[in-house]
Structure formats: structure tokens, C-alpha cells
Amino acid sequence: MKKLLVIGYVWPEPNSSAAGSRMLQLLDCFQKDGYEITYASPAQSSEHAVNLPDLNITPINIEINSESFDTFISELQPSAVLFDRFMMEEQFAWRVEKYCPNALRILDTEDLHCLRLARQKLAKANPQHVIKEVDNQHLYSDQAKREIAAILRCDLTVMISEYEMAFLQERFSVPANILAYIPFMLDAPNQEEFNDFESRDHFVSIGNFRHEPNWDAVLCLKQHIWPLIRKKLPKAELHVYGAYPPKKASQLHNEKQGFLVKGWVEDAQQMLNEARVLLAPLRFGAGLKGKFLDAAQCGLPSVTTSIGSEGLFDQEQNSTNELNTLCTHDDFNEFSESAVKLYEDEELWNSFQQNCQAFIEQRFDKETHKKRLLSQVKDIELNLDQHRLNNFTGSMLRHHSLKSTQYMAQWIEAKNKLIDS
């Protein structure tokens, strides 16, 4: 039987973040293709982590800078290894290459970290602006060098966004044949089961508070957008949901203003089915924003920014709005006006809801993207030696970068042994 080893940055939390849902979709894809899956992580488990044994996946705790991983992977001998974000590739790829040289090495970026962090830095300096474009000075950071090096070292990198696929090729000259566009893989909703306009109430916002773009969006709502909405809708309420709310988030709760910080929600789908409009004024970020797909699956229209909508639609659909399920505005006044109109105008609201099923079917169909990923994996496996020869830059980086990582890790191992003895 084929074996897949996933080295996770964290344990998957599908009810806390889009990244957790995305990981489970990838696991399901490989499992249904006949892979026996082991999920290993150096992270501590959490109360919201999924129970992997229930999914017939073996969970293993591993340590960084420890030779115990060498024994583990030598015995497992996986056919393929999937690194969950580039930090795991940095830590473990040299050990994988040493003990399982023929295992396919796949990187799942979740989002392009260097792009998100460059935008975040610019956003902090421009507190009332949405930041989409980044210059080379901010983009070509040490973080970018690490992340792009990891992408080049791997046999295949799974990208969640078409925008970021093109971005990697245009700004970093990453070869197209080592990239795979695999967005969220979803079953389409049944439009007939959507709750209608009259049965819904309230604005909602949702997002893991530990993710900086989400926290910034909550502050943006509180300070700039919600006061404008309340002027026109004085009885409206905004319910703010998300995992791991810090004390500073709870302090924003104000019933007189209708700004209600709810925190963790046990059943996000039910909540989205009952809300009328989703608000997400994201000023920076990267990747695909799963909240809008969750909303579309519940027939819930949204209002967001160009950052929020990035990668959701192809260029032709962006220009024609044929499949729009959301309004996009980077100006806070226009954002609030659009939110009020969508909340009050049933005809407009219905026109957005009617697009939800087709939007999911055409852009995020599970079977379409599964077939593409597995086909690309099999093609590379059949020609792995030639594929690696064609990626000389990647092999050069593996030789230099991973050797230095290896020696540093072995030095830390030796030091730890002396401390323990």
C-alpha cells in the first residue's frame, strides 16, 4: 500500500480555521486514492483538534532536532511526504531526503507567507488603506528567501490560489511544472435548501483571532465601518465569531452599539444559515479566504475588500460579475454603504444568493481538483529522476541549504544530549 507522511505545523482544527479544513480535504484526497496516512507534528495538540484516528489516520508526535525522527521515518518508508508550510520543510526535509530519497516531497503553502507579511507591514504603516500591491523592497525579505527556497527544493508545491500561482512565476520565476493549483475542494450546496432573506437577521464576522488579518478586520469594523452602518441601521447587530478570542477582543463587546463579540461558535454552519450578511474588511492577507466559501455554501452574501476576494474568481468572472456572491470595496464608506444596501434590498440580496451554488460548482468542485492533484502527483512519480534533474536550482538549494540545516540540527542534538547526561 502507498504511504503518505504528513508533517504538520499544527494539528488540524477544521472548525477553527480554513487551514484546518483545507488540510482535511487534502488528507481525504490522498486517502481515497489508496494512501495509508500518518500525520506527524511537533506541535502540542489542542482542544479543537480533529480526532485523526476517527478518520483512519495515524497521529504521531515528533520532535525537532532529534534523531528519533530518523528512526521513525526509516521504519515508515513513505511513498510521499507532505510538508505543512515551509517551516516544516526546513526542519525535516534533509532527514526525509537522507532516509527516504525516493519519496515524493510535496509542500502545502496554505498561503504565500511572504506576500501576507509584506502586505501586513505596509498595512501597519497605512492604517486606513487596503494593501494589495507590494514593492520588491518589502517583498524580497528573509522570509521570502526561506519560503521560495523551500518551494524550489520540493518536487511539487500545492497552491491554494491562482493569483499566487501567477505571482510566484512573475515575481520569483518559479517554474510552473513544480506548482499545482488546488483550491478548497468542496461539494456544491443545494440552492433549494438555503434560508431566505426574511428568515435571516444580523450582520456577522468570523475568523480565527490568532490570524493577524482577521484581528485587524475586527478592529477595522469597530473603529471605521460599524459606526457608519449603525448610523443608517440603528437597530442592527454585528455578531463577531472566531476561535481563540483574546481579552482585548472581548473588551470590544458593546451591546449599546450592537457590536457583540461572541467568540467560539460550535456550529458555524448553523450560524451562517441564520445571518443575513457577512462582513470581512480584510486590509491585508494572502491565500483564499475560506469564510466566503463557507458563506456561499450557506447561501449567505458577503461584503469584503479586494484582498478578501483575491483568487475567488477568475479574471473573466471578475470583470463580468457573473458568479458574484459578494460585494468588493476598499473604501470604508463604500463598504458600509454596500453593506447597508445588501442588508435592506431583498432583490439585490437574492441575486447574490442565487449565484452561490454555481460559484461553488464551477470554481471549487471537489472531484475536478482531486483528479488534477492526483494526476500531477502520478506524473511526477513516474518521472521523478528527470523531474529533479530539470529543477537544477532546487537541487542546488537542497545541497547547500539543507546541509547547513543538517549540521545545525546535529549540533543541537549533540548539545541536548550533553545537557541531558
332: which residues sit within 8 A by CB, 6+ positions away? 128, 220, 224, 225, 228, 281
**CATH 3.40.50.2000-classified regions of the chain:** 3-185+366-420, 191-363
pLDDT of residue 31: 97
> What global pTM score does this model have?
0.91
Compute the radius of gyration of the chain from its Cα atoms. Answer: 22
Residue 403: pLDDT band (50, 70, 90) is: low
Residues belonging to the chain: 421
- 177-223 per-position pLDDT tens digit: 999 999 999 999 999 999 999 999 999 999 999 999 999 999 999 99
Q: May I ask the CATH architecture of the domain 191-363?
A: 3-Layer(aba) Sandwich (3.40)
- 249-298 per-position pLDDT tens digit: 999 999 999 999 999 998 999 999 999 999 999 999 999 999 999 999 99
Q: Which residues of 274-303 are buried (b: 16+ CB within 10 A; e: fewer)?
A: bbbbbbbbbbbbbbbbbbbbbbbbbbbbbb
Map 399-415 to HEC letters.
Answer: HHHHHHHHHHHHHHHHH
DSSP, collapsed to helix, strand or coil, labels residue 375 as helix
pLDDT value at 410 more than 90: no
Contact between 203 and 262 under an 8 Å Cβ cutoff? The reply is: no
Contact between 89 and 107 under an 8 Å Cβ cutoff? The reply is: yes
Q: Which of 82, 68, 76 is nearest to 100 (CA)?
A: 76
Contact between 141 and 118 under an 8 Å Cβ cutoff? The reply is: yes
- 109-122 per-position pLDDT tens digit: 999 999 999 999 99
State which H helix or E strand residue 4 sits in: strand 3-7
- 342-395 per-position pLDDT tens digit: 999 999 999 999 999 999 999 999 999 999 999 999 999 999 999 999 999 998
pLDDT of residue 99: 95
Rounded average pLDDT over 158-177: 96
The superfamily in CATH containing domain 3-185+366-420 is: Glycogen Phosphorylase B; (3.40.50.2000)
Residue 421: pLDDT band (50, 70, 90) is: low
